[in-house]
Amino acid sequence: MSAPADPFRDARESRGVLRCPFHGEEITMILRHAEVRAAARDWARFSSDAPFRVPIPSEEAVRSMRQLPIETNPPEHGEYRALVEPFFDRAKDPAVMARVEALMARELEPLLAGRPTEVVHGFALPVQSRALTHLLNVPEAEAEIWIGWGVHVFKVTGGEFKQGTVLEDYLARKFDEAERQPGADFFSALVTATFRGRPLTRAEQMGFANLAFAGGRDTIIHTICCALAHLAARPEDLEFLRADPRRIVHAAEEFFRVFMPLTHIGRVCPAGAEVHGVHVAPGERVSLAWASANFDAAAFPEPERIKLDRKPNPHLSFGFGPHLCLGAPHARLILRTLLRLCCERVRRVTVVAARERVEREAGYDRPLGFESLKLRLERI
C-alpha cells in the first residue's frame, strides 16, 4: 500500500492554513509541522477547555459529559491525567505485554489457514477490544460486548453518528457495579479516586471512561489494517523487517506517521487569534491538522515515501505537548507485536478484496484506510 495522497500539500506550502467548513462551522486548519507543535503547546491561545468541541465535528449530540482529561487545560489536565495514567502505563508492564502477545498470536492463527479473511471487523476489531481489557484490567470476556459496538463507538459505516446512548448506558452499569463491589479494575479506580480532595463525580467518571473507549478504537483498527495492506502491496518490506526485527520499532512509527487516522483535533481561541492572516474570532475554533503536519517536507524528507527505517521521525500521530496521547504505549505495543509475529509466521500477505474509506469534506477528500479489507495470509 502506498502512502495516501496528501490533500493539504498545496495549502500547507502556499498559505500554511486551510479555512474549511465542517458541518456548518468554519474552522481554520493549521497545517505546518512546526506551527502545529507550537499551537499544541500554547494552551492559553488554543484551548482544550471546551466540552464536546475538541473533536471535529463536535460531539454535543452523541455524549452528555466532558471527556477527561482531553477537554481540559493545565494544570487541571495534569491532575486529572495522573488519576488514570497507571492504567495506560500497563502497556509497558512485561506481564501485560506477554498477555497481549499471546492474544495477538491467538487472533492471528486462524488467518494463517490461508483462507480469505475480512480483517477490519474479523481481526483488527477483536484484537483492539480484547487488548483493551488487559489495559483496563477487566476480564477478557468483557470485550465481546465492545466488539458488538463495531469499529466506531459513535459512528456507523459512512461516518454518520449512531442513534442512542449504548456507550453511556454501558458505562453507567459498570460504575454502578464498581460502587457495589470495587476491585482492581479501571472502573473501580475511578469510583474510589479523589480529585483535589473530593471524590470524582459520576460525570467525571463517565468522562474518563468515555474517552478510554472512544479515543483509541478506530485509530488502532485503522493502523492495523493499513499496515497489513502495506505488507501485501510491498512484500519486500516484510522481508526487510524479517531480516532484522530490530527495525520493527522504526517501522511502526512510520506506519503511525503515514496512516494517521485522525485528521485533526479542535482547539478554541478564547481571545481570538490571527493565524497566517486569517482572523479567528473569540470563541471560534482552529484545528491542529496532525495529518497535514505528518507530511510536511520541512520535517520529513520525501514525506510521501514510506520509509520503514525513517530516523528521526517526529510524527504527531499521538499529538504533542501536554495532551500527548495516553494510549500511545498501548498502540505501539499492539502494532509492534503484530509486525513481529508477521515476521515470524507470515510468508506473504495478499489483498483479496478491499473497500476503501474516504473522509469527504468541503475543502478536501482524504483517504482513511478501509471500510472492509479481505486478506489471505500464507504461513511460513
CA gap 376, 230 in Å, rounded: 13
- pLDDT in the model for residue 143: 97
pLDDT category of residue 160 using cuts at 50, 70 and 90: low
What CATH number has the domain bearing residue 91? 1.10.630.10
- When mean pLDDT is compared across 211-225, 247-261, 292-306, the lowest value belongs to 211-225
Q: What is the pLDDT of residues 30-84, one digit of tens each?
A: 999 999 999 999 999 999 999 999 999 999 988 999 999 999 999 999 999 999 9
In a domain, 262, yes or no: yes
Confidence of residue 215 (pLDDT cuts 50, 70, 90): confident
Whether the per-residue pLDDT at 247 is higher than 80: the answer is yes
Q: Work out whether strand 346-361 and strand 117-118 pair parallel, antiparallel, or are unpaired.
A: unpaired
Give yes or no for residue 161 having a pLDDT over 60.
no
Quote the pLDDT of residue 158: 53
Question: Is 274 part of a structural domain of the chain?
Answer: yes
- Look at residue 41 in the predicted model and tell me its pLDDT: 97
* Residue 252 lies inside a defined structural domain of this protein: yes
Average pLDDT of the chain to the nearest whole number: 95
Residue 264, domain member (yes or no): yes
**pLDDT surpassing 80 at residue 157:** no
Q: Which secondary-structure segment (H or E) carries 126? A: helix 125-136
Per the CB < 8 A criterion, the answer to whether 87 and 135 are in contact is yes
170 domain-assigned: yes
pLDDT range class, residue 26, cuts 50, 70, 90: very high
The answer to the question of residue 2 being in a domain is no
The string of pLDDT tens digits covering residues 80-120 is 999 999 999 999 999 999 999 999 999 999 999 999 999 99
Phi, psi for 3 (deg, rounded to 5): -65, 140
Please state the rounded mean pLDDT for residues 265-276.
Answer: 97
pLDDT for position 126: 97
* The pLDDT of residue 202: 98
For residues 170 and 233, what is the distance between their CA atoms, to the nearest angstrom? Answer: 40
**Domain membership flag for residue 1:** no
Is the pLDDT at 156 greater than 80? The verdict is no
Rounded distance between C-alpha atoms, residue 337 and residue 284, angstroms: 41
Residue 342 lies in a domain: yes
pLDDT at 71: 98
User: Could you give the percent of the chain with pLDDT greater than 90?
Assistant: 89
Q: Residue 217: what pLDDT?
A: 87
**In this predicted structure, what is the pLDDT of residue 96?**
98
User: How long a stretch of residues is the chain?
Assistant: 380
Q: What is the pLDDT of residue 163?
A: 59
Total domains in the chain come to 1
Q: Give residue 152's pLDDT.
A: 79
Least confident of 129-133, 164-168, 298-302, 351-355: 164-168
**CA–CA distances in Å: residue 190 to residues 194, 205, 206, 318, 327:** 8, 6, 9, 24, 17
The answer to whether residues 200 and 206 touch, using CB atoms and an 8 Å cutoff, is: no
> Which pLDDT belongs to residue 164?
60
Owning domain of residue 323: 9-379
Q: Cβ neighbours of residue 210 under 8 Å, at least 6 residues apart?
A: 63, 65, 67, 167, 168, 171
pLDDT of residue 261: 87
Q: What is the pLDDT of residue 62?
A: 85
Confidence at residue 183, expressed as pLDDT on a 0 to 100 scale: 98
User: Which of 204-208, 210-214, 239-243 is predicted least confidently?
Assistant: 210-214
Q: Average the pLDDT over 302-324 and give the result.
A: 97
Residue 146 has pLDDT above 70, yes or no: yes
